């Protein structure tokens, strides 16, 4: 009798679980079917990444997330003249592209999706979030929360006092030239970028501040550029400390709503509840493209200047040499010597902005490797091809 009772309970549990599973959205079902057992995204298989990148905010078990609500007045994206790109299907397949939106003059010239993803879905940004975070510094300066780019970061983050960051300025943090030692090698399990996610925070300190304040100095501040996601996380802490607002709330108030973003977004949070400013903003591909339009408009919305008038002229200009001819680094933006600029995230996330052509290319993908595969070079060639096609179409008019 007892065995029969146990079997009945098990059967009821399985049936209830099956019913619960059918109520989940397709992204969550996909994530559960390929659920990674390791919290380190750099070690996931490609099929696990494909399932997780569209559902990073679905399971609190993996990470908690702050919600950013849609704009009450979404920015319209009318259809423009369709842009025919030869070899597009092959390119998207090779890139593992989930979403691709190309805007020119505020109009959609091409919109395509793959991997079972669609316009309603949210794909994670990885380091594309860095460019949003740096823009919030501009907003905080415009709003009077941050006085100057020459302020010491320890003025806004007291937990950094006495550390190697004590004499680092806001400008140096934005340009990743603090001189503090950091290893960003995505394929090295002992690199800082991997280790700081697993470090136990000191009591009473933000997780990022706790890790970063222990790092030693490698160079004098301002002299050497070194890519450092931990420092973007510090920028996020700086903004929330200066404004007295959660980073996601400030993003919603100063960019998401004014910029006319039409869909809900989320921002993953770290161990101590702060948004991970250097990563992990989940949004629709169209809204990533709308951010490009916000930049092209110089952060001016209906006559209201969200950032200082010269902000994007500084932020998207080459501030630091990165050892790559024709390229550079601004305020958390990758710059091109021809005036274009890009936000970039590992595994193929990107927003490319060409002000000369009023062009925005937003794409979300699942590359075979974080940065070292064949896809980055192919994407640069794709950007160049799109610009050539836009120029040719303009000349034919």
pLDDT one-digit tens code per residue, 53-78: 999 998 777 789 999 999 999 999 99
Residue 60 forms part of a structural domain:
no
pLDDT at site 27? 61
**Cβ–Cβ < 8 Å for 175, 225:** yes
Average pLDDT, the chain: 92
Question: What pTM was computed for the model?
Answer: 0.91
pLDDT at site 397? 67
331, 192: one domain:
yes
Structure tokens at 323: 């050892």
43, 100: one domain:
no
17, 101: one domain:
no
Tell me, rounded to whole angstroms, the distance of Cα 113 from its chain centroid: 19
235, 126: one domain:
yes
10, 123: one domain:
no
Nearest residue to 151 via CA among 141, 143, 162: 141
Residue 59 forms part of a structural domain:
no
131, 169: one domain:
yes
Nearest residue to 339 via CA among 360, 322, 318, 321: 318
> Which residues, in sequence order, are CB contacts of 98 under 8 Å at separation 6+?
53, 54, 113, 114, 115, 117, 121, 123, 285, 364, 365, 366
pLDDT one-digit tens code per residue, 72-101: 999 999 999 999 999 999 999 999 999 999
388, 314: one domain:
yes
- With tokens 């021809």, the residue in question is 338
Bridging pattern class, strands 97-104 and 359-365:
antiparallel
100, 219: one domain:
yes
Residue 310 forms part of a structural domain:
yes
126, 170: one domain:
yes
105, 174: one domain:
yes
Residue 262 forms part of a structural domain:
yes
CATH code where residue 317 lies: 3.40.710.10
**Cβ–Cβ < 8 Å for 357, 363:** no
94, 197: one domain:
yes
Domain, as residue range, for 21: 2-52
Tell whether the model's pLDDT for residue 356 goes beyond 50. yes
Residue 58 forms part of a structural domain:
no
Give the residue-averaged pLDDT of 151-166.
Answer: 97
pLDDT one-digit tens code per residue, 43-53: 889 999 999 99
pLDDT at site 118? 98
Structure tokens at 131: 């460019």
Using the 3D structure, point to which of 12, 30, 52 is the last residue of a domain: 52
**DSSP-assigned states of every residue in 71-137:** PSSPPP--B-SPPP-TTHHHHHHHHTEEEEEEEETTEEEEEEE-TT--TT--EE-TTHHHHHHHHHH
Total domains in the chain come to: 2
Tell whether the model's pLDDT for residue 189 goes beyond 90. no
127, 192: one domain:
yes
Tell whether the model's pLDDT for residue 232 goes beyond 90. yes
**Cβ–Cβ < 8 Å for 260, 73:** yes
Residue 124 forms part of a structural domain:
yes
Structure tokens at 234: 């510090």
pLDDT one-digit tens code per residue, 215-228: 999 999 999 999 99
Residue 57 forms part of a structural domain:
no
Number of H helices, E strands in the chain: 13, 13
In the DSSP assignment, the letter for residue 202 is P
């Amino acid at each position: 009798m007892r065995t029969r009772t146990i079997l009945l309970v098990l059967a009821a549990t399985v049936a209830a679980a099956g019913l619960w599973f059918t109520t989940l959205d397709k992204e969550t079902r996909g994530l559960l079917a390929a659920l990674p057992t390791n919290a380190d995204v750099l070690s996931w298989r490609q099929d696990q990444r494909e399932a997780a990148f569209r559902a990073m905010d679905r399971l609190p078990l993996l990470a908690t997330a702050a919600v950013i609500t849609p704009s009450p007045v979404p920015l319209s994206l009318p259809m423009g003249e369709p842009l025919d790109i030869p070899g597009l299907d092959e390119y998207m397949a090779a890139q593992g592209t989930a979403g691709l939106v190309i805007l020119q003059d505020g109009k959609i010239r091409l919109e395509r999706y793959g991997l079972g993803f669609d316009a309603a879905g949210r794909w994670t940004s990885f380091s594309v979030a860095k460019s949003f975070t740096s823009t919030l510094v501009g907003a905080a300066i415009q709003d009077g929360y941050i006085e100057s780019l020459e302020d010491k970061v320890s003025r806004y983050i007291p937990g950094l006092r006495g550390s190697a960051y004590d004499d680092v300025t806001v400008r140096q943090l934005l340009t990743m030239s603090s001189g503090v030692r950091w290893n960003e090698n995505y394929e090295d399990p002992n690199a800082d970028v991997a280790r700081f996610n697993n470090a136990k925070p000191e009591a009473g300190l933000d997780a990022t501040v706790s890790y970063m304040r222990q790092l030693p100095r490698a160079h004098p501040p301002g002299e050497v550029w070194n890519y450092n996601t931990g420092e973007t996380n510090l920028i996020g802490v700086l903004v929330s400390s200066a404004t007295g607002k959660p980073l996601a709330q400030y993003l919603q108030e100063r960019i998401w709503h004014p910029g006319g973003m039409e869909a809900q977004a989320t921002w993953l949070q770290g161990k101590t509840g702060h948004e991970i400013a250097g990563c992990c903003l989940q949004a629709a591909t169209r809204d990533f493209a709308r951010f490009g339009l916000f930049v092209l408009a110089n952060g001016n919305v209906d006559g209201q200047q969200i950032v200082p008038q010269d902000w994007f002229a500084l932020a998207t200009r080459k501030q630091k040499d990165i050892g790559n001819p024709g390229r550079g680094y601004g305020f958390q933006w990758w710059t091109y010597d021809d005036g274009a600029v890009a936000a970039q995230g590992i595994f193929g996330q990107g927003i490319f902005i060409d002000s000369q052509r009023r062009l925005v290319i937003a794409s979300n993908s699942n590359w075979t490797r974080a940065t070292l595969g064949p896809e980055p070079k192919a994407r640069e060639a794709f950007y160049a091809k799109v610009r050539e096609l836009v120029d040719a179409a303009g000349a034919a008019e």
